Structures are given as C-alpha cells and as structure tokens.
Amino acid sequence: MARSALLNVMVQAAMKAGRGLSRDFGEVQNLQVSVKGPGDFVSQADHRAEEVLRTELQRARPKYGFLLEESGAIAGEDDQHRWIVDPLDGTTNFLHGIPHFAISIALERQGQIVAGVVFNPVSDELYTAEKGGGAYLNDRRLRVAGRRKLTDCVIGCGLPHLGRGDHGRFLVQLRHVMSEAIGVRRSGAASLDLAYVAAGRFDGFWEDGLSPWDMAAGMLLIREAGGFATDASGGADILGRGDIVAGNEVVQKALLAAIKRPLSGTD
C-alpha cells in the first residue's frame, strides 16, 4: 500500500515509541506508577512514549499543535492541524502484563480526522487509515464484518469501573445487548477495540466516558473500512460527547437502538 508522507511520519513515530513500550512491558514490575484518579493509572512508560511521539511528530511538522493524554492541549502556530495522541491506551492491561494495549495517533485538519494509526507493539499489528484512502492492517485492506443481525454478532464494549461512569445505566445497556448478541467482549483498550471493528473481528462496539485520543484514530479506521460510527445519541459529535457506537450500517443502527432502549417492567 502507498502511504502519504504524513502517514509515514505517524507510522515511524508509533513504531519508535512502540519499541520503548515493548521494552518496558518486559520490565513492568520495575516501572514507577502513579494514580491520576480512582482506577486510573499512569506509568513511566506512558510518559516516555508520549515524549518520543511528541518529539518525532514535532520534528516532522514543527508548527502543528497537539492534544496529548498526559500533557493536554498544546497550541501550534498552524491552527488548522493538530495531532491527537494516546501514548499508551490500555495502561491497566499493560501494568498487569496483559498484552492488549496500543499507541493511537490521529491527525486532525480543520476539525476533521484525516489520518490515523493504532499500533500494538506486542502483536506487531499496525492499523492505518487516511481519509478517502481506505484502512489497513499492516498491508492488508480492511473491511468491517458483513453480519446483519445482532443474534450473529460479537459486540465489544467498554464498561465503567471504580470511580468512572454511570454503572446503573451501563447495566441496562448491557442487559439489552446481551439479550440480542451472541457475545459481548470487554478488552480494555478502546482504540484497539475500534480497530477490531474495522478488521471485522468485532461486529460492533459501544462505550461512553471516552476522550478524543481514545477514539479519533479508531473512528477513522472504521469509516475507511466501510463502517459507521455515531455518538450515543445517533449524532456526529463523537469526540465532543465522548461516546461512540460503531459497526456496519445495519449492526450500528441495531446496537444504537439496543443501548438507547429504556428499562421496561419486563426486563
């Protein structure tokens, strides 16, 4: 596959940061860990990976701004472009020795996501997409799964945990999805879960309480793989609201209807 110069910059930055994460993953017991909030960890690995990504991306496009998980928003001279970066999505998995985590990088141009990279350095799976150019896993073109009934589908999700989210509302949503889908999975790294939808591994996905860096690259992957993604109201403000519902056209609509259904007396 042919990549643009910008996407090559993103890929090279992700792979360089990924080498550091792979090394740290092998020495995870020696990492210093702090707690940002209940159930929300940050490690030396997050900070080191973010520093590598910022340095590499800034070297290639010094005027672009950033939205970084650990450092926040950094304005650039070019106010039409910014990088949206999660240096380690799935920190809890990482710190528990679970090899399901990723680097996520998206490029936003004039408010639109135009390129995205999601990279799991342990599995060496590199997901890439450019607006209008399709989505790829390594060099293989991706398409979302073609199943059309929730009863045939495996659905990914995030779930609230200690100190995060509306547990009661999620349990209602989960009850409705469980009653229709053949399986529900919670993997702990939203960017990878969205990439799995693009790859046809998950038929759909939903989660709320997310940040732009969790979703920006994965959202583009799904759309470029022929899928659909909306916010939980069915609108387009995914990054602003912090929630996402995704799948192919039919499954996305069915999943959205399931999670919006109120609890009835018969449930």
Which tens digit of pLDDT belongs to each residue from 206-263?
999 999 999 999 999 999 999 999 999 999 999 999 999 999 999 999 999 999 998 6
Range name among 158-162, 181-185, 209-213, 262-266 with the lowest pLDDT average:
262-266
Q: What is the pLDDT of residues 58-95, one digit of tens each?
A: 999 999 999 998 889 999 999 999 999 999 999 889 88
Q: Measured between alpha carbons, how far is 260 from 80 in angstroms, rounded to an integer?
A: 35
The domain of 206 spans 150-260
Average pLDDT for 153-169 = 88
- Whether residue 254 is found in the same domain as residue 227: yes
- The reply to whether 216 falls in a domain is yes
Number of domains into which the chain is organized: 2
- The reply to whether 11 falls in a domain is yes
Task: Indicate the pLDDT class of residue 168, thresholds 50, 70 and 90.
Answer: confident
Q: 3-8 — which CB contacts under 8 Å span 24+ positions? A: 3/128, 3/130, 4/115, 4/130, 4/133, 6/61, 6/107, 6/115, 7/115, 7/117, 7/128, 7/130
- Give the end of a domain, one of 141, 174, 205: 141
Q: Which residue numbers belong to the known binding site? A: 69, 86, 88-89, 214
Q: Which residue numbers belong to the known binding site for Mg(2+)? A: 69, 86, 88-89, 214
- The reply to whether 266 falls in a domain is no
- Whether residue 11 is found in the same domain as residue 45: yes
Q: What is the pLDDT of residues 110-157, one digit of tens each?
A: 999 999 999 999 999 999 999 999 999 998 999 999 999 999 999 999
| 197 or 70, greater pLDDT | 197
> Any alpha helices (H) in the chain, and if so which ranges?
5-26, 44-60, 91-95, 167-178, 190-198, 212-224, 238-241, 249-260
